[in-house]
Each structure stands twice: as structure tokens, then as C-alpha cells.
Structure 1
Amino acid sequence: MNNSVMMKTFCGRANPTTGSLDSVEEGEEYDYHQEIARSCYADMLHDTDRNEKYYQGIRAAVSRVKARGERVVVLDIGTGTGLLSMMAVTAGADYCYSVEVFKPMAEAAACIKKKNGFSDKIKIINKHSTEVTVGPDGDMQEKANILVTELFDTELIGEGALPSYEHAHLHLVQPGCEAVPHRATIYAQVVESEQLWSWAQIQPIQVEERTLLPPAAVTQCAGAPSVCDIQLSQVTPSAFTNLGPLCAMFSVDFSTPVSSTPQSHSCRFVVQSSGRAQVVLSWWDLDMDPSGSIVCSMAPSWTYSDPREYPWRDHWMQSVYFLPAERSVCEGEELSLTVCHDDYSLWYSLSAGEQSDVATPCCTCQAHLLWTRPRFGELNDRRRRESYLSALRSILRPDSVCLSVSDGSLLPIFAHLLGAKKVFSLENSGMAKRVIEQFLEANSLRNGVQLLEIRPDQLTSADVEEEQISVLIGEPYFSTSLLPWHSLCFWYCRTALSRLLRPDATIMPSSATLYVIAVEFQDLWRIRAPCGTCEGFDVSPMDEMVQRSLDFRESREAEPHPLWEYPCRALSQPCSVMTFDFLQCVPEQPISSQGAVQLTGRGRCHGVALWMEYRLTDDITVSMGLTQPASEEGACVWSPHRKQGVYFLREPWESTGDGEASVTYSITFDPSIGDIKMDFSVTQA
């Protein structure tokens, strides 16, 4: 056997659509291609504000070191494409050590530095910075006197910035070194927001004359500890009420030794408006120099006097933190907001007095582990819920034997309250079963719904008390779904349950339709746009690597994105491209569809958005994509509860809006794997 040939291995992974265990190619090469193809490096390179501020800070730091008469040695941790290292050398640095742990990125950085003529002054070190050594035989010949890093995420410290800085100051840089950025400051503001709070807690639900209450274990739970990172600019100021001022919670000086030990910081403030303290909005700034004259801010667009000056970015967004419990506050009241952090995460609490060492929030009710934040919002959506209730009212009868198939759904409880004779619910996990049991017990409905932790293909007549199912329902919602068509898992479940359904059984939803629409993105296109050059440096080798990674796949794929966070304009009418009939079983043969979507809007077509709409009854449909027709200007309003699919064209197309150009499509649903292969391109008439 040729040892130079990379061996491929396969591992079993649950298929999100079929529910089966599939063999998936696994190995170093496959993983690298996946990581590169999915990376959003282009967003960072297209972030002009970020790049300019870093360049200004690096030039200033190099000047300060040279003014002291010292040789300028730079350590760049997390170099990525090597852009910041090239900036440093161009600014006059004598030598730069560039550390990058991800092998493909390190290889790309090596190509980029060579292409730009920096081979003699930049050394790429393919290691984690904590493994780098200094000395005659080490990775670095000498300690650096300028530390340049880009180790930050939306939460600032979530990528391990603090331990990396701590190690660097102990082992890799000189005492009193310059740092770019010089410091970071985290800001926070307490607000009341029904919209945001609906992502954290289930609200009481009215079903006929009955009010369905959330379990006390859920309402009293502090929730999941993970940050909710979003494009806060897309949450309008009318959606929340500021209860206090914007507080500077704490700063980290990166030019001095940094500690990664857990810490807490408090800020006292006077309540500006009475209300319910529920949510903390947070973001941070970077001071690129000691004087604070070069600032890179993550503040949302509505904090700008001119929102057009807002520098859009997706690699850094803003954070939403949910307080452990909502608290009524009165105008003029003095409170203390406390932030705590460990190596990687932050959490907040609010009290009348000083606090310290507030325990890390931990979900004890399991609902916050079962449901994502968008799922909480979906369950709290009154309009959506009324669609399902109206559909259930029209199909349920006093003798209905109902079976629900979704993950952690409240539909079976609704079916019982609406008068079904018997209700069974298949739950895919013990956690889902326990969460729904809590709802049943909290509302004295324990005997109203029988919960079954059984796979659909294993369900027997004995499990449903020898009853034939007359009504099969689903939202459909499955926790493993990422792309819109992954919820076709409901179709596979319906097929597996056919033997238990009455011949005249009602299926809700009865069908699903896949829709597409051609769009121009305001900003999201940046994550896939080639860069070519950035700040005068040629970074095209990275573009080439990403393209090879995309070509590594048999066909191009759609990506899941929550489009409510990413404004776009419709350049065509919505077009239904494929319908899946749930009244029939999943077919054995593939389903294919070809056609064209006429470009009727003027603008730059970056690609298409895809979503599913479910037909509950003849006159009730719920959309997981557009929630209303696009405006005359093409503005789109997307469901905030589900991610839509986005297929980026290889090259943007300038649409004149005269209908002479169309986006042609070829779509094939392969029932054997439950996936959709697709191809889109623009043709001119």
C-alpha cells in the first residue's frame, strides 16, 4: 500500500432528516476542507473599520518602540491570513513571529507572506501559543516587545483570550511590552423587553378557557450559561426599554500581565425608568493605543448618530444575557449590576447591594437545554400558536386518537385541551419527555397525554393501547434540524408509522413546500466574497483555498442563516420549487425540479434564500421563512424562529429589473439520504 495516500475513515452520524445512522467520511483532509469552506474569514478581511484601526494601532506601537531605540520584535497570536503581521513589518517591525494553530490557515499565511515578499521577516509557527518556546533552539529566538492579537469573539473572552494573554506575558513577551489592542472595555445595559425575554422563559398560554402555566422549575431556572450572540442592530429600540444607563463594567489592559482567574465587577446605577429588569445588553470596545484615540467599537447601529457610519461585522456581534429572574424596579432606585467571568464566559446579576462571586448560571429545569432561544421565542409566538390551535380545532373530534411527532412540542397538550379522546406523544429523548411531563404536572394534566420515548419505527399497537391513530400531528420541529428541509423528518416518521394509522387518518401538516427567492443582501454577502487584496496586501491565496474547499464537495450547498438578522431585498417573487406530500409515504425514487425565477427587481443578486411553508389545513399555512409579502422596495420580513437556507451564487449578478435575466434552478430530493442537492445560476434571455 502506498503510505503517501491519505486513508479515509467513516463514522456513524445521525441523519437529521431520516433519523437513521449514516456513515460519514471522516479524516484530516475532509475536516480541513469543511472548516475552510464554512469559515467566514472574508467577513474579517472585508471589515474595513477593524483593519484600519488595527493598522493605526500597529503603526503607533512600532513608532513608540523605535523611539526608545529598540529593535522591534512582534508576536502575532492567532495570525490567520497573516494580515496583521504584514502590517507590522510594513510599519517598520524588524521581525514578526506569527502563531496560528489551525494548519490550513497557517499554510495559507505562509503562501500569503511569500506572495507579498515578507518571507525573510515573518515566521509562521503552526502551534497553539501556549506551546511556543523561546530560546536558541525554540520557536522564537527572542521575546517580543510588541504583542498583536486577534483572539476575540462576541463575548470578548470566549476564544480563550485570557489564558493566552496570561501565558504570553509569562513566557513570550518582554516586561512593559506594547500591545495592540492596548485594552478592551465591556459595556452593559439593563433593559425590559418582551421580545428578548420571550427567548428565555415560556409565558402563560391561553387555550380556550384554560390558561396553561409554565412549570415553576422553568420560571425559577437561571437558564443556560451560554451567551446569546446576535446582530443587536436588528432589534429595534422600540423593542426594549432602557431601565438604566450604559455601564462600563470592566476593562482589561493587554500590555500588562493578565489573569485568567475568575473575577467579578460591579457597577452601581440609578434606575431611569420603572419596569421589569429582564435582560442585559452587552458589547465591548477596543482601544488600539494607550491614549484611547484609536477605538474599534462593537456598539450596535442605533447607538450611532448616523447609522450609515455603522461598520457591519459578523465575526463580532453583540451579546444578550438573561437575568436569572425578572425583577421589578422603580425609577430613582439605586441598584448594582454585577458581571462575573471565568476563562471563557460572562454572566450577570442584579441586586440592591454589592455582590461578588455570583454562581455560574446553570439550567436545572432542562427546558433551557432542550430548547434553543429561538425555540423559546417560537413557543411564545401568539400568532403562530393561534394558527396551530385553529388547525387543531378544525380536525379534532371527540373520538380522535391523536399522535404527536415533534421534539418537545406543546401540541399534544393543546390536542388534549381541545377535546381529543386520547393523545400520545413520541419524544426523541428522556430530556424532552421530562420537560413535557413538568408542563403536564404543573397544569394537573398528567393523565391527559401519554408520553412515549420510542422511535417511530419501534412503536407498536400495544404502546398506543391497541388504538388506531386517527390524527397524526407535528409542528414540525426537531432539535437536530439546521436547514429548512431537515424538518422533513416528520415525513419519515409518518412513513414509519403508516401501519398504525387509520386509512382515513388526518395528517397535520398535510404537506410542505420549498420556496426560493432571489435576494440582494445588505451585508451578509461579505462572508463569502473573495478579497483579492486587503489594505494593499494580496490575500488571494486564501480565496483560492476556500474555492478549492468548496469544489471538494460534490455540489455546492446552502447554508443555514437566521435571515431576520441580515437585511436583504427581494429581486424576484417567491417561487415554490418542490412540494412534499405528507398524505403519502416517502417515495423510493428521487424527486427533481427544474425551472427559473425571473429577476424583476433592480440590484445585485447575491444568491437565493430558501425556506419551507407547511400546510396545516386547506386554509391555514405557516411559513418558516417570509412572514409577509416583500414590500414594493423589496424589503423582506423573516421568521425569527427558524434559520433559512442561503445559496450564494459564484458571482453576484447585476439585475436591471427588466425581467430579461432569471435565476435557473435544478433541485433534487434524494429520499435515501433525506437531503436536497441544488444548483442555481443566472441566465440572460
Structure 2
Amino acid sequence: MKTFCGRANTSTGAVDWVEESEEYDYHQEIARSCYADMLHDHDRNEKYYQGIRAAVARVKARGEQVIILDIGTGTGLLSMMAVTAGADFCYAVEVFKPMADAAQCIVKKNGFSDKIKIINKHSTDVTVGPDGDMQMKANVLITELFDTELIGEGALPSYEHAHHYLVQDGCEAVPHRATVYAQLVESEMLWNWAQLQPVEVEGARLVPPAEVGRCAGAHSVCDIQLSQVSPHSFTPLGPVCSMFSVDFSQPVNSTFQSHSSQFVARCGGRAQVVLSWWDLEMDPAGSIVCSMAPSWTYPEPETAPWRDHWMQSVYFLPVESKVAEGEELSLTVCHDDYSLWYGLQANRQPDPQTASPLPRPCCTCQAHLVWTRPRFGELNDQWRTESYVSALRSILREDSVCLGVSDGSLLPVFAHMLGAKKVYSFENSRMSKQVIEQILEANSMTGGVELLKSRPEQLTSSDLGGQQISVLMGEPYFSTSLLPWHSLFFWYCRTALTGLLRPDITVLPCSATLHVMAVEFQNLWRIRAPCGTCEGFDVTPMDEMVQRSLEFHESREAEPHPLWEYPCRALTQSTPVMTFDFTQCIPEQPIISEGSLPLTRIGRCHGVVLWMEYQLTEDIAVSAGLIQPVGDQGECEWSRHRKQGVYFLRSPWESSGDGRAALSYSFIFEPTSGDIKMDFSINPGDLLPSDS
């Protein structure tokens, strides 16, 4: 059965109506759910299996039947581990129907149907009794309800309910315990993700509004691959602190709690950021530990397990504060049933009986709701700002009438500071407009930039006071953009505005170029790799719908990833494959590009990276992808501000590196839809398919 779905087109700005099968959403959800990453996480699976075997053995040693409750079973892997370890019966709960259906298929294929019952419900809706979902309460509780913040997927309420209604008193639990760790640091790089910094333009200083500086910021956690944040980019002000633990074998309380850790500052500095992660102890003795600690905490960093379904967290303190070496400090963490937040106190240990609760961070300035954390980093990037200011300086005249087309951009403010006659700017939302107005007011520039509410296609000459635009500028940046070419919305705006532009219009950037490069990923390939077998269990035979969705996603679409967090090596040269001329309107005919990239380095080709480079003027360019030339061994340094596109090959290929084998490409830019259709294939030469 087919249905029509309306979708906002991020490139053209229009709403497209597309025909999809009724299973489309399931296809996408399964394809993007990263179950493959979890199933490839050998350390996680091994530690869970060890913990499950030990728990089953302890119950059997007491002469009891082993009844398992597995909450959040996913593929059913942990339930199959439990039965293999000797459990008598397992109730496996999975609320997401497509995944529950897949688990049912996998369990049946592996011969466990008689001992595993898949329950497609939220665990808080599961009932126990003769007519219930479970015939009896379980005496072993197995869960994988955790996210990067530990409790963000509702682990605490689920545990609380399970202990009240679904498991026996004194039950075994795998994992048995979780412990949250934190470290207070100073880091200019990370702090730039939280607060707007002053900017120097032509000897003038653009300062952030006081409201932004006082704001505690967005409450949502910043989850990243902390292993890719170099220890040289932050200064530890204190030791790694154990903040609190949760014993999952006992009744769990999901209400607000506060915990503090006292320490002496190791050195002086600015307390800005808290780095946080957690460990799982799979057994009561704490001898089986699955750690989320970043690699630089390991004596041998290369031995740290890699995973993407669980990462590490960065928390920004409400305000930065100076600390002195030797100063006694108290780091406090609070949590409700779904999230954590941190605060710092000096020179005293808080009394839990009298201390007032640490308020949850809440954005009051709007800026943290308008700009993402990478966007803050982009706005604070001094080199990038200097590039745009230099480009603007070279094209502006005293009689320039400028129009900015980007979301929450400072370019119009820079144009005003550089002396443009008149500056207009589109703002896509009320909040974004308010933030720019605050910046103008804080710098006594009220009225210096006129903020327009109309969409580009709705703009009239009267909105511009009868003037024609002589400079059209953009970064381009749009909050709705996901993939690199979605920023071509700037081109569609330029085309819609043609009647309001002077014949000799100057456009900044004047063009954009799509670049591609074949790469070998260090670890990212795992999130889309076939599952094969996992700890002795065949997890490949999902139902046809799930398998089709995975194939559709992997073989035909690129997906966005922040590659600075995911190291890779270049196997080909970086190659421009398509150029978009912003000085001209969008062409009526498709733009087509075909060619090949010789594989000139030895390695395993997992896929292709795609990114945009913007030519601001003839001699100034800004890259949203590679920011340094590729190293001699293929090392890549990527922009931290934008996500790059990644197209995973259906199967990895081994390159001998002699250049005889090549990756062929075909691109078609469709002007009517703004889509870029792409296809890649290997011209083998002496290239052989990889076994993994």
C-alpha cells in the first residue's frame, strides 16, 4: 500500500509530496537505529554475557528456577545469552514494534522460541499473573536501557516500576550497578560551544549581549566522542570524581536527587566545563566492568573499546568562575528521572539537609535555543570570522545595499560595521530575530540592520524602500540543513530574489563546490556493517522488511556525521565534482558530473565523504569539510562546525594503493527538487572485496 507524505525540502524550502510505502517510517527507524553498532560492540557483549552467566549460576546455586526479565531487548541478543547460560525462561520486553518483530524472527531462527517470549509493550504496561504477560515475577533482571547520559532513556522509572511489580525481592540484576564519574576542566575550545565571545572587526569590538553571558544555556546534554578531544585542549582543575552510583538489584528511586564530591583544585584556572561518563559493574563484586571512559584515561589508549551508541558527556557550568590552586571545591550533580546537571561551589561542603537544590539550567536568552553548540563554535571561530570579514571588506562600497540570507548570522552586523550604506537580513524565526536584535542593542547598533520577516519569494521592492540589492551575502547556514548540499537553499533564495537584485550584483559566496574523497574509517564503518554473528548468535536473519530497510539506507543514501569525532584515512585525492555558481540563477536543466577517483593508498575503502567548500571571493574560500591538506599517510582534519556527508559502500574493498583500481562516481543535481542523486562503484583492477 502506498501513501503520500508531505516533507519540508531543506534545499528548496518547499513542501514536497512524495509517495512512500506504509512501511517507510519503519524502514528508516530500523536503518538509522544503530543496532549494528551495539551488536559489533564486542566489549559490551562480552561483559554482558559474563555478567549473565554469573547471575544465572548464582540463582541455580540457590536451587531456584531462573526466570529472566529482559527490558529493552532490541534484537533479543541478551535474552538468547541468558537461555544459553541456562535460564529456564525469559520474558523479553521491546516497545518498538518493528524491533520486537525482528527480535521474534531472530529468536525463532536461532531456536529459542520455546524459552523466550517477546512482549511488545513498554515495561510499565507489562502485567504479571495467570492472564498476564508474565506468568510469574522474574528473579533475574537484565536491562540495556542506557544512553550517553545513563538515565536519558528513562532507565530509573523503568527500574522503579520493575522492582515494584515485575521482579522478586532480592533479584539478581545485570548490570548490577552503575557509577557516574566527572572531571572539572578549563577548555577554551569546549567553552566556545557554550558562550558567544567578543569579535574584533576593523578595530571595533562586537560584544555579546549581557543576557547571553548570564544565561545558563540549554539543558540538553552535549554528547560527543570525548576520546577525540585532545587532552592538550583542556586543563584538568581537579581529579576524576565518583559522583554517584545506582544499585539496580535494589528498588530504585526516580525522584530528584543531589550528590556532591569534594576535592582540592590541582591548579588555578577558569572552571567552565564538566566532562562526564559512567561505568557498568555487571556483578556484585565489581569484577566485570564495562567502562565508558574516554581513551585518554587508559594507560594504553589504543586498547579502549570504541562505541557510538554510548559516548561521553560535556556539561557547561552556568557561569565560568576562577579557582585557585589548592582551593577546596565541591562539584555537585543533580538528576531527575531523565537528566543530569552540574554546579560548582567553593570553600565549603554543602549540607544536603539545608542546601537549596541546584537549579536546572534553562536558556533565558534565546541564543542557546537558536544556535546549536557546533554553531556557537562556528560563530566563535576567529579564523573563519576573519575570512568573512576580509571578503566583505573587499566587496563593500559606501553605497552598498546588502541583504543577508542565513539563519542567525552575524554577517549583516559585520557589513554594517564595515560601513555599508544599508543592510537587510532575513531571519527565519521570532527567536532568531530577537537574538540578533539583542546583539545590535548591546553594541548600540539598533537600526543598523533591518530584520525582514518575509520569505525571499515574498519580498517586494517596497520592503526595501524601493532600493535594489547590490550585495547578497550568506555563510550559508540554515538550521534545517542536515546534509552539506542542503545549504543550496541559499541558491534558491538568490534565484527567487532576482527581480530585486542589481544587474551588477555581488554575491558572497560567489560559488560552492561539492568535494568527495574515498576513505577508510577507523571505527565508524561499524554502524552500518552487516551484523553476521555476535557472541555465537546469528543476528542477521531479520524479517524481510527490516533487511530491505537496511539495504535501502546503506546503498542509496548519504548520511550526516561530524567526522572530527570519527577518524578516517584518505585513500584517494580530495576531488571537486560539482560547482554551483551563485552569481547565476539555478539552471533549468540538471547538472551532471561523472568520473573516477584512483585509490592511491593501501587500506580498506568503507565509503565516500562529501562536503562543501564556499568560494567567498576569488582568493578567499571556506571549507565545511577538510580544513587542512591530507597528511602523508592519509590523515584528515575536519571542520568541527558542520557535519559532512558519508556514503557507505555496501561492502568494504581492499585497496593495494597502486592507483590502478578506482572509485567511479556519478552525480545528478535536480534543480526542481534540490536533490543530488549519487551512485558509486568500484572499478576493480587488482582490488578485491574485503571479508569483513
Cα deviation, residue 7, structure 1: 5.7
| Paired letter, 2:428 | N
Q: How does 1:241-320 map to 2 (within 5 A)?
A: 241-320=235-314
Deviation at 1:589, TM superposition (A): 2.0
The alignment partner of 1:312 has SS state of coil
Pairing partner for 1:149 from 140, 143, 155: 143
Alpha-carbon distance between aligned partners in 1 of 2:554 and 2:498, rounded to the nearest angstrom = 34
Indicate the residue corresponding to 1:462 in structure 2: 462
Moved more, 73-82 or 103-112: 103-112
What are the residue-to-residue correspondences of 1:29-68 with 2, within 5 Å? Answer: 29-68=23-62
Superposition deviation, residue 14 in structure 1: 2.1
Question: Is the counterpart of residue 8 in structure 1 residue 3 in structure 2?
Answer: yes
Partner of 1:605: 605
- What is the match of residue 688 of structure 2? none
Measure the CA separation in 1 of the matches of 2:552 and 2:649: 17
- State the partner residue of 1:390: 390
Structure-1 separation of matches of 2:260 and 2:447: 48
C-alpha separation in 1, matches of 2:416 and 2:528: 48
What do the CA deviations read for 1:214-262 (whole angstroms, capped 9, x no partner)?
A: 0000010000000000000000000000001111110000000111111
2:118 counterpart (124, 134, 157): 124
Cα shift at 1:447: 2.0
In the other structure, the counterpart of 2:88 is 94
Secondary structure at the counterpart of residue 270 of structure 2: strand
| 1:215 corresponds to 2:205 | no
1:657 aligned counterpart, secondary structure: coil
Please give the secondary structure, in 1, of the residue aligned with 2:529: coil
Provide the aligned C-alpha RMSD in A.
1.3
| 1:528, distance to aligned residue in structure 2 (A) | 0.5
Aligned position for 2:654: 654
- Asked whether the 8 Å contact 1:156–1:284 carries over to 2, the reply is yes
> What is the CA-CA distance between 1:550 and the residue it aligns to?
3.9
> In 2, distance between residues paired with 1:656 and 1:542?
35
Residue deviations 1:50-82 (CA, integer Å, cap 9, x gap)? 000000000000011011110000000000111
Q: Could you list the runs of 5+ residues in structure 1 that have no partner in the other structure? A: 1-5
- Corresponding residue of 2:537: 537
- Structure 2: gaps spanning 5 or more residues: 686-692
Return closer, same or farther for 1:551/1:299 CA change in 2, 3 Å cut-off: closer
Q: CA offsets, 1:91-147, max 9 Å, x none?
A: 110000001111111111111111211111111111111111111111110100000
The amino acid of 2:158's aligned partner reads S
Alpha-carbon offset, residue 544 of structure 1: 6.3
Alignment of 1:135-534 (within 5 A): 135-352=129-346, 353=348, 354=350, 355-534=355-534
- Residues 552-580 of structure 1 show CA distances to partners (whole Å, capped at 9, x for unaligned) of 57971000000000000000001111111
**Cα distance in 1, alignment partners of residues 251 and 554 from structure 2:** 49
Percent sequence identity is 77
Q: Where does residue 107 of structure 1 map in the other structure?
A: 101
The one-letter amino acid paired with 2:464 is V
Contact 1:65 1:72 survives alignment (8 Å): yes
Question: Deviations for 1:579-605, whole angstroms, at most 9, x for unmatched residues?
Answer: 111111112222111111111010000
Report the residue type matching 1:334 in the other structure.
E
Cross-structure match for 1:3: none
Any idea what the Cα deviations from partners look like across 1:6-64, whole Å, max 9, x if unmatched? 46243x33211111122245775111011011121111011000000000000000011
Q: For 1:115 and 1:203, locate their aligned partners in 2 and report how far apart those are by CA, in whole Å.
A: 57
Aligned-partner SS, 1:478:
coil
State the distance in 2 between where 1:39 and 1:545 align. 15
SS at 2:642 equivalent: coil
Q: Contact conserved, 1:108 with 1:545, CA < 8 A, in 2?
A: no
Structure 2 Cα separation of the partners of residues 356 and 79 of structure 1? 39
Code of the residue aligned with 2:3 in structure 1: it is K
8 Å Cα contact 1:516-1:576 kept in structure 2: yes
Once residues 295 and 543 of structure 2 are traced to their aligned partners in structure 1, the CA distance between those partners, rounded to angstroms, is 29
> 1:543 Cα shift?
9.1
**Quick one: structure 1 residues 515 and 7, their matched pair in 2 at CA, closer, same or farther if it must change by over 3 Å?**
closer
How far does residue 267 in structure 1 lie from its aligned partner after superposition?
1.2
Task: Report the TM-score when normalising by structure 1.
Answer: 0.98
Q: CA deviation at 1:497?
A: 0.8
| Preserved CA contact (<8 Å) 1:555 1:678 | no
Deviations 1:488-508 (A, max 9, x none): 010011011111100001000
TM-score (norm 2): 0.97
Bigger CA drift: 38-47 or 234-243? Answer: 38-47
Q: In structure 2, how many angstroms separate the alpha carbons of the residues matched to 1:239 and 1:627? A: 18
Alpha-carbon deviations, 1:385-441, whole Å to 9, x = none? 111011001100111111110000000010011111111111111111110000000
- 1:176-218 deviation digits (Å, cap 9, x = unpaired): 0000000100001110000000000011100011010000000
- SS at the partner of 2:548? helix
Deviations 1:616-653 (A, max 9, x none): 00011100000011100000000000000000000101
Does the 8 Å contact 1:555/1:677 carry over to 2? Answer: no
Q: Is the 8 A contact 1:664 1:680 kept in 2?
A: yes
Mapped to 1, the partners of 2:463 and 2:330 lie a distance apart of 54
Counterpart AA for 1:646 = V
Quick one: structure 1 residues 555 and 243, their matched pair in 2 at CA, closer, same or farther if it must change by over 3 Å? closer
1:514 touches 1:611 (CA, 8 Å); kept in 2? yes
In the superposition, relative to structure 1, how do residues 535 and 544 fare at CA in structure 2: closer, same or farther (>3 Å)?
Answer: farther
CA contact (8 A) 1:530 1:543 kept: no
| Partner residue, 2:594 | 594
Instruction: Name the CA shift for 1:535/1:628 in 2 (closer, same or farther; >3 Å).
Output: same
C-alpha contact (below 8 Å) 1:550/1:556 kept by paired residues:
no
Q: Distance in 1 between matches of 2:125 and 2:667?
A: 48
